[in-house]
Structure 1
Amino acid sequence: MANGNQHPIRILHVVGGMNRGGIETWLMHVLRHIDRDRFQMDFLVHTDKPCAYDDEIRALGSRIIPCLQPSKPWLYARNFQRILHEYGLYDIVHSHVHHFSGYILLLANQAGVSIRIAHSHLDSSSLEAKAIWKRSLYLAVMKRWINLYATTGLACSRKATSLFGLPWEKDPRWQLLYCGIDLKAFQTVLDPMSVRAEFGIPEDAFVIGHVGRFEQQKNHHFLLEIITEVVKRESNIRLLLVGDGSLHPDIEQKVLQMGLTDYVIFAGSRHDVPRLMRGAMNVFLFPSLFEGLGLVLIEAQAAGLPCILSDVIPEEVDVIKPLMHRLSISQPASIWAEVILKSKNNQLKITPTETLKLVDESVLNIQASTKKLENIYLLESSKLVNK
């Protein structure tokens, strides 16, 4: 068994693909900050297409290993076993693919991997409640396998522990690991006017920002309803949408239909989110239907932005309470619009320097997050050595 005094502990992270998203961005933060002499992180992905972080991952000495056909269990199992045979047995398999982690950890157990981690980055309880019977059966089996084959379960918030069942606190395997952000990008000097000029945003425009994948969870349709209400009350505004995803064409079409073309800017997937938050945005809007934690909200707070968010988002993300305003998604778009415009006229009693300091001192910075993860890996490895 690997330990810090011999060869590095070898960890295989299982993700869909290393494109920009909350889970993937956090994993990149971890890869940059973890002691790479003691921990060798590789990434098993469910795609053979190039992803945004692939080049940097390889530059940092880690591998991208495609394992295809997750929708065909027997074929996927053969691919998985072949990979473990080809690359050598890993000390740890750390799975980030939510319910499907049950199958991953079953396969890892069959292959003889001693440490098997299921990591929940999402509170999917509302989706589970609406699932049809076939889906419900699949979810029940996966959760059963997670319970059987996970040696450790990590969740990014108390709500995200829904993957492990209740009462999760009574099982010592299940624990919280808050994802953290790297604050370096929030400490650089920048010129807001040049950031705005890049997108053709007027200097005096009030900019509402949103960062998130174009998927149902992020509630873009409601977001556009809110902007329609804002425009009725204030015309000198812009909505800056950062991200990409399967619903992108649908949302672009909706913007056209709603007559919002002059107000909505599609920035695409970006590597410089902190720069856009600090240089272009005045307020951050996040009406998600559900979240595991909401990593971009931590970034928005680090940038000193007032945040208007749905009340289903875990409260652990509220580092700077004066910046956070929670609303129910059952409230009409007009109420959301009024709260947004109220933030426009409110003078914040806290400076960006102070907000950055508070985030840095919280458990939601990358140093604290990475250190805790290292300790979990070391503790689980030491248990096996001492057996």
Structure 2
Amino acid sequence: MHYTNSIDTTKHNKNLLSSKHYPIRILHVVGGMNRGGIETWLMHILRHIDRDRFQMDFLVHTEQACAYDQEIRALGSQIIHCPLNRLQPWIYAANFQRILKMYGTYDVVHSHVHHFNGYILRLAQRSGIPIRIAHSHNNTSCVEAKAKWYRRLYLDLMRAWIARYATLGFGCSHQAIANLFGSDQHIHPHRQTLYYGIDLTVFQDPVDVVAVRSELGIPKDAFVIGHVGRFEPQKNHVFLLDIAAEVAKQEPKMHLLLVGVGSLRADIEQKVAQMGLGDRVIFAGSRPDVPRLMRGAMDVFLLPSLYEGLGLVLIEAQAAGLPCIFSDVIPQEADVVKPLVKRISRSQSASAWAEAVLTAPNNSSALTKLDALNIVEKSAFNIETSVKKLLEGYESQFFKY
């Protein structure tokens, strides 16, 4: 599929960009600013940018209040509600274009809603937005392979619109880029890998392990398997529970700490009760202190996802010095601290996964937590590196025309 770098040449856009004004106004389009990989990365960016040079606002597809809304407003950015009903896209289009007129001229629309990016950027082009960015945060190819014919038509249309209307494409991994833009991204310089950066200062704070575990109702001598992720099919919680049950057969002090919210939480709670693991599984909900929980409560991090764009929580877990056991479908870029990571095929049994979980602490014991943090700090996943590349992307487009 042909991918173009087509900037509008209308008088409006020429006048807009020729002024070279600061701040550059950026509108991020997301489902909602709750705690998740995409949203947490965007908050790291917002906290670290020069807000005299870059103004970031957020258009969200919900009317509900979200976890990061208050902090976003405190940092001088706006939350703009534009509810989405995919069965009535014309209503969304009218609201989107009304919002762009109401909130003034944006230089950039940066869309984070995967294939639906195509529709967003088409609307942005029609509204005269000169810089339009499609950002791929996931690799859903395994789901798309099973899609019905009408879903495949939708995906093809969205990819065609992304190719036509995006002036720049970002992806959190090579797999994520290929999923949205095609596998020939090396031919197109306007498709770029942009790794998630995390703020590593919180991984340097002292942590009282006994206090953290006591707060969660976990014995201080427990063997704790940790998981951070939405309760949605992608995260494969059912299999995660099967693994935990196998671990418990060999390690009577096993506890499972689940951080996150989602539509399947009630189902998972029911399965926990049916398996007789009610006193071993902690549902921590949505938490603002994930690094603290990783460092203070977890012994091993487990992520048996069915698919991922990258898995920001894996980078955080490695920064915390945790041994990480995860599925082999996760992009190779996630292997930052190699002595800490072990990949396992999803086709392997729960008992095979359990064996890897039980032996992981011994296999990675030669590496200190400080060593692990230093490796992540020197990698592309440092927030400073991530911010620098993102802002260079904005400015390269902005000053090009």
Matched residue SS, 2:180? helix
- Report the counterpart of residue 19 of structure 1 in structure 2: 34
Kindly provide the amino acid, as one letter, of the partner of residue 33 in structure 1: H
Indicate if the aligned counterparts of 1:3 and 1:378 stay in contact, CA closer than 8 A: no
- Report the counterpart of residue 191 of structure 1 in structure 2: 208
- Report the counterpart of residue 257 of structure 2 in structure 1: 240
Deviation at 1:5, TM superposition (A): 6.7
Q: 1:145 aligns with which of 138, 161, 177?
A: 161
Indicate if the aligned counterparts of 1:206 and 1:344 stay in contact, CA closer than 8 A: no
- Report the counterpart of residue 76 of structure 2 in structure 1: 61
Q: Would you say 1:84 and 2:81 are equivalent positions?
A: no
Deviation at 1:226, TM superposition (A): 0.4
Matched residue SS, 1:23? helix
Kindly provide the amino acid, as one letter, of the partner of residue 62 in structure 2: T
Q: Would you say 1:279 and 2:296 are equivalent positions?
A: yes
* Partner Cα distance (1:110, 1:44) in 2: 17
- Report the counterpart of residue 210 of structure 1 in structure 2: 227
CA RMSD of aligned residues (A): 1.2
Q: 1:2 to 1:190 in 2, by over 3 A?
A: farther
* Partner Cα distance (1:36, 1:125) in 2: 37
Is 338-347 or 142-151 further displaced after alignment?
Answer: 338-347
Matched residue SS, 1:252? helix
Aligned residue pairs total 384
* Partner Cα distance (2:349, 2:183) in 1: 33
Deviation at 1:168, TM superposition (A): 1.8
User: In percent, how many aligned pairs have the same letter?
Assistant: 65
- Report the counterpart of residue 61 of structure 2 in structure 1: 46
Structure 1 segment 155-174 matched on structure 2, within 5 A = 155-161=171-177, 162-174=179-191
* Partner Cα distance (1:118, 1:155) in 2: 8
Q: Would you say 1:270 and 2:270 are equivalent positions?
A: no
Q: 1:70 to 1:12 in 2, by over 3 A?
A: farther
Q: Normalising by structure 1, what TM-score?
A: 0.97
Is 1-10 or 81-90 further displaced after alignment?
Answer: 1-10
Q: 1:216 to 1:207 in 2, by over 3 A?
A: same
* Partner Cα distance (1:183, 1:278) in 2: 13
* Partner Cα distance (1:114, 1:297) in 2: 35
* Partner Cα distance (1:290, 1:69) in 2: 25
Indicate if the aligned counterparts of 1:3 and 1:9 stay in contact, CA closer than 8 A: no
Listed one character per residue, the Cα deviations across residues 35-54 of structure 1 (whole Å, up to 9, x for unaligned) are 11100000000011100000
Q: 1:3 to 1:209 in 2, by over 3 A?
A: farther
Q: 2:314 aligns with which of 292, 297, 321?
A: 297
Kindly provide the amino acid, as one letter, of the partner of residue 248 in structure 1: R
Structure 2, unmatched stretches of 5+, are 1-15
Listed one character per residue, the Cα deviations across residues 187-213 of structure 1 (whole Å, up to 9, x for unaligned) are 101110000000111111100000000
Deviation at 1:345, TM superposition (A): 4.1
- Report the counterpart of residue 120 of structure 1 in structure 2: 136
Matched residue SS, 1:12? strand
Q: 1:115 to 1:5 in 2, by over 3 A?
A: closer
Deviation at 1:256, TM superposition (A): 0.7
- Report the counterpart of residue 9 of structure 2 in structure 1: none
* Partner Cα distance (1:319, 1:48) in 2: 37
Indicate if the aligned counterparts of 1:58 and 1:64 stay in contact, CA closer than 8 A: yes
Q: 1:337 to 1:377 in 2, by over 3 A?
A: same
- Report the counterpart of residue 337 of structure 1 in structure 2: 354
Matched residue SS, 1:276? helix
Q: 1:8 aligns with which of 2, 16, 23?
A: 23
Matched residue SS, 2:145? helix
* Partner Cα distance (1:160, 1:5) in 2: 32
Deviation at 1:89, TM superposition (A): 2.0
Structure 1, unmatched stretches of 5+, are none
Q: 2:122 aligns with which of 106, 109, 121?
A: 106
Deviation at 1:134, TM superposition (A): 1.2
* Partner Cα distance (1:185, 1:172) in 2: 35
Kindly provide the amino acid, as one letter, of the partner of residue 46 in structure 1: H
Deviation at 1:347, TM superposition (A): 5.8
Deviation at 1:136, TM superposition (A): 0.9
Matched residue SS, 1:130? coil
* Partner Cα distance (1:38, 1:2) in 2: 15
Matched residue SS, 1:288? coil
Q: Would you say 1:34 and 2:49 are equivalent positions?
A: yes
* Partner Cα distance (1:190, 1:324) in 2: 23
* Partner Cα distance (2:194, 2:358) in 1: 35
- Report the counterpart of residue 6 of structure 2 in structure 1: none
Indicate if the aligned counterparts of 1:46 and 1:67 stay in contact, CA closer than 8 A: yes
Indicate if the aligned counterparts of 1:3 and 1:381 stay in contact, CA closer than 8 A: no
- Report the counterpart of residue 73 of structure 1 in structure 2: 89
* Partner Cα distance (1:4, 1:305) in 2: 49
Q: 1:17 to 1:59 in 2, by over 3 A?
A: same
Matched residue SS, 1:284? strand
* Partner Cα distance (2:364, 2:386) in 1: 32
- Report the counterpart of residue 241 of structure 2 in structure 1: 224
Deviation at 1:334, TM superposition (A): 0.3
